[in-house]
Amino acid sequence: MVRASICAGIIATAVFSALAEDVVEIKAEQHHDGRGGLMLKIRTNGGEWRDAAGRDRVFTHSNLGNWGEKNLLDPVLFHDEDGTWHVYYKDRPEGGKDCHAVSWGPDNLTDWGRQNWVDNDLDRARLKKAREGSGIWRLTKTQVEKLGKSEWHPGCPWHFTLDSAKDDEQRYGEAVRAAKPGLRLKFSKKPAYPISRNLIGIFFEDINSSHEVYSTNHVGTYKGHGFRKDIGEALAALKPRFVRFPGGCIVHARDFKSMYHWKETVGPLSERKGKPNFNWGGFQDFALGYYEYFQLCEDIGADALPILPAGVTCPNPQIAMTDAELEQLVADTLDLVEFANGDPKKSKWAKLRADMGHPKPFGLKYIGLGNEEDVNDYFERGFTRIYKAVREKYPKIKIVGTAGPSCGGRDYEEGWRLAKRLKVDIVDEHYYVGPGWYYGNQLFYDDYDRKGPKVYAGEYAAHKEGRVNDMETALALAIHLTNLERNGDIVEMSSYAPLFAKKGAIRWSPDLIYFTDGEVELTTDYWVQWLFGNYGGEKYVPHDLEIVLPDGSAGRKARTAEGSPRMGALGPDDSQRFYNRFSSSVVRRGKTTIVKLVNSTAFAMPFAADLSPLGVTASRKAEVWELAGDFADRMARPVRSEATVGPSVRRTLPPYSVTLLVLPPK
C-alpha cells in the first residue's frame, strides 16, 4: 500500500477556491493526533482556519525523509519569492537543532524532497523570519494563482472536484441551464490502434488470515481448489486479465527474515510454518501460498504477476540486503520461474509443483520486482542484480519494475530513469488520490514516451472524505479507466487496490470487495471494474467528446481553457473544468464496438453521435448498461437494457452516470 503521502493536487484544490478573496493566509502546525506529523492550514479574510491539504491529510516521517514521527515539533512555513515553499521544524531529540524539509515548488507540488539541517546563513535567516511571523504567510493574488495552477507533470494541471450535487448547482447550475450544452462524439480520421488486452487485473494485498477466503479442505469451494465459492465467483466475474500477488509492502517487510519468501508458502501444508506479518499485523499461516495463487489464476483465466523482493526492505527505514542475502534473493527469483514453468524431470522446483498436483507448467509470463521502495543506491544495487539475472536466464519473462509510492516526486523520477536505462519492460505506478485528481489528470499518459517501458497502474483508488466507495469514487475511476483505455498502447496493465477487507477487521479503506463469513459485498468501485473488465477492447477508436452549444460552437478536452466554449456566466477556465467532468472511450473487440460515456455532473446531458464511421449503416439492437445514482449512493448497480441504434444516435445521459453502448456486428 502507499505509505502516508500527499498528492498535492489537493493543496491546489483548497487554495484555488480562494482566488477571489482579498487575503489568503497559510500556515503549518502539528497534527491533532499527537504523533508529531505536520498539517497545513489555510484561511481567507481572517476567517476560520481549515485544512489546506484536504481530507485531514498529515505529513509524517514517511514523506519527510524517514525520521521518527514524534520528532517533528514547532513547525513553521516559509515561502520564497521564486515560488518554493519550505516547512521548518525543530528536532528536539537531536539536541534542539533546527532542520527543514525542502518542500515543494510551483512545478512540483508532490515532492517534499529529503530533510536537510539548517546549516547556512540563508536558511537561518529564513527560519528566523518565519518564526518572527508566527509561521503565517499572506499570499498575494499572483502567488495564489501560481499555486492554484501548479503542475507536477508537464501539461497536467491540478483541478478541483465537486463533492455533491448541491455544489454542482451552486457553481454551475444557472450558467449550464442558460447555455443548454450537449455532448457529441466526433470520430477522428485516424485509424483504430491496438491496445493492451491485459488492462484490467486484480491486486491481492495481504488479508488477515488465509482461512478468511480459503479453505484447506476444499469442500464446496470455487472449482474445488480452496477459495470460497462466492469470493471466487466475484473475482472471476470481473474478467481480470491478470492477478498480482501476494501483495505490496508485505513482500519486502522489515528485514530478510521477515520478507515474504515464496518457498515458505509451497509444499505440504503441514510443512508451512508461517510467520508474523510485520507490515499489517497478525500471523501469516501460508495456507494460501504461491501454488494456490497460481491455481486461482488458472481457474479464472488470468495471467499471474507474482511480486518478489528487490534487494531492500520496506522503507521507513529502508535497509539493503547483504551480498549473501541478495544472492539468495536472486536464486529464489530464478527458482520461482522453474516452479511455475519448469520441466519436472529437470528441475526440483518443477517437480515440487508436479508433486502438489500440477505437472503441466503454469505458463508464467510476468515477474514484479519490488514495491514502493525509495529509489536510491541500495535499491538500484539490489534491483539491478536480480533484474539482470532474470533477463539473462529467462529473456521472455516480462519484468515489472517500480516507481515509488506516489504519482510524482523523486522516487517516481528516479524509478523511471533507472527503468529506461535498464530497459525494464513495465514500470509499476501507484496513486491513492482524491477524485479531483482523476478529473484534472485525464491527459496524464498522453505524453509518455511510447518507445520506453510500458506502464502498470498497479495500485490506484479514489480516496474521498470518510474513505468510502460511492458514486463519486466510481465516477472518478470510470473517467480514469476511459483514459487508460485511450492510452492502452502504453498502459499495459492496471489494478485497483486493495482488493479485500473483512468486515470487523478492516485495516485499510476503501477496498473493492468487503465480506463477512457468509456474504460478499460488492462496491460501486467493483461495478466500474466489472463494466470495464467485461467490456474491454483490442483496439481503440480515436474520437473527441465535445461540448456543443445551441449556436453550434463546440469545445474539446484540453490542457488549458483553449478549446472550451463559454457557457453563460462561466469563463473559459470554468467551462474547461466543467468539461473535465465528462469522459468517453470507444473500443473494438472483434467485430463488436463498445462506446463508454461518463457524466459526473448533476445535470442530465443530451448526447448525440454519428456512428457511420464505425460502419453502422442500418439500425441494430444494442446492449445498454447504465450505472447511475446520487454522488453519495453506495448501493448503485449497473442495469442492463436494450435499444435500437442506427447511424444517428441520440440519448440523454443521466446525472452521475456511466453508460455503455455495446454494438454487435452487422
Is the pLDDT confidence value at 160 over 80? Answer: no
- Report the number of distinct structural domains present in the chain: 3
pLDDT at site 105: 44
- Under 8 Å between Cβ of 399 and 425: yes
User: Smallest Cα–Cα separation from 586: which of 550, 615, 629?
Assistant: 615
pLDDT at site 119: 59
pLDDT at site 332: 98
User: Smallest Cα–Cα separation from 244: which of 202, 196, 290, 284?
Assistant: 202
Residue 178 inside a domain? The answer is: no
Same domain, 469 and 547: no
DSSP lists the bridge partners of residue 568 as: none
Confidence band, pLDDT 50/70/90 cuts, at residue 125: confident
Confidence band, pLDDT 50/70/90 cuts, at residue 263: very high
- 305 or 434: which carries more pLDDT confidence? 305
pLDDT at site 478: 98
Give the mean model confidence (pLDDT) for residues 340-356. 98
Residue 189 inside a domain? The answer is: no
Residue 654 inside a domain? The answer is: yes
* DSSP-based three-state secondary structure for 29: strand
pLDDT at site 247: 85
Burial of 247 (0-12, 13-18, 19+ CB in 10 A): buried
- Distance separating alpha carbons of residues 475 and 454, to the nearest angstrom: 25
Same domain, 354 and 429: yes
Q: Among 95-109, 139-153, 406-420, 609-623, which stretch is predicted with the lowest mean pLDDT? A: 95-109
- Per-residue pLDDT of 361-383, as tens digits, reads 999 999 999 999 988 888 999 99
Same domain, 335 and 451: yes
Q: Which three cell numbers stand for residue 600?
A: 459526473
Give the mean model confidence (pLDDT) for residues 54-62. 43
Give the mean model confidence (pLDDT) for residues 622-630. 96
Same domain, 476 and 606: no
Tell me the residue range of the domain where 293 lies: 196-534
Same domain, 215 and 312: yes
Question: Domain boundary residue among 128, 148, 168?
Answer: 148
Residue 170 inside a domain? The answer is: no
Q: Which three cell numbers stand for residue 152?
A: 507536477
- Under 8 Å between Cβ of 275 and 209: no
Query: Global pTM?
Result: 0.79
- Distance separating alpha carbons of residues 425 and 422, to the nearest angstrom: 9
User: Smallest Cα–Cα separation from 9: which of 406, 434, 431, 372?
Assistant: 434
Confidence band, pLDDT 50/70/90 cuts, at residue 334: very high
- Distance separating alpha carbons of residues 303 and 134, to the nearest angstrom: 56
Residue 161 inside a domain? The answer is: no
Same domain, 529 and 562: no
Confidence band, pLDDT 50/70/90 cuts, at residue 318: confident
pLDDT at site 569: 83
CA-based end-to-end distance of the chain: 46
Q: Which three cell numbers stand for residue 495?
A: 489494478
Sheet strand arrangement including 513-515: 500-502, 513-515, 520-522
State the Cα torsion 372-378-381-384 to the nearest 10°.
10
Confidence band, pLDDT 50/70/90 cuts, at residue 17: very low
Is the pLDDT confidence value at 577 over 90? Answer: no
**Amino acid identity of 262?**
W
Q: Which three cell numbers stand for residue 120?
A: 547556512
Same domain, 241 and 387: yes
pLDDT at site 56: 44
Q: State the DSSP H helix or E strand holding residue 445, giving kind and residue range, or none if neither.
A: none
Place of cell 461540448: 547
Q: Catalytic residue numbers?
A: 372
DSSP lists the bridge partners of residue 151 as: 157
Question: Domain boundary residue among 475, 510, 534?
Answer: 534
pLDDT at site 164: 52
Distances (CA, A) of 394 to 302, 335, 383: 21, 11, 16
Q: Which residues contact 129 (CB under 8 A, 6 or more apart)?
A: 78
User: Smallest Cα–Cα separation from 1: which of 414, 477, 460?
Assistant: 460
Residue 157 inside a domain? The answer is: no
Give me the chain's average pLDDT, please. Answer: 83
Is the pLDDT confidence value at 468 over 60? Answer: yes
Question: Which conformational region is residue 585 in: left (phi greater than 0), alpha (psi within -120 to 50 degrees), or beta?
Answer: beta
Confidence band, pLDDT 50/70/90 cuts, at residue 98: low
Quickly list DSSP for 562-624: TTPPPBTTB-HHHHHHHHTTEEEEEEEETTEEEEEEEE-SSS-EEEEEE-GGGT--S-EEEEE
Residue 180 inside a domain? The answer is: no
Q: Read off the CATH number of the domain in which 479 is found.
A: 3.20.20.80
Same domain, 244 and 112: no
Question: Domain boundary residue among 120, 148, 176?
Answer: 148
pLDDT at site 416: 94
Is the pLDDT confidence value at 10 over 90? Answer: no
* DSSP-based three-state secondary structure for 435: helix
- 361 or 108: which carries more pLDDT confidence? 361
pLDDT at site 208: 56
The count of other CB atoms within 10 Å of the CB of residue 93 is 11
For CA atoms 328, 334, 336, 338, give the dihedral sign.
negative
Quickly list DSSP for 468-518: --SHHHHHHHHHHHHHHHHTTTTEEEEEES--EEETT---SS--SEEE-SS
Same domain, 545 and 435: no
Give the mean model confidence (pLDDT) for residues 432-448. 86
Q: Measured in whole angstroms, how far is the alpha carbon of residue 309 from the centre of its chain?
A: 21
Residue 4 inside a domain? The answer is: no
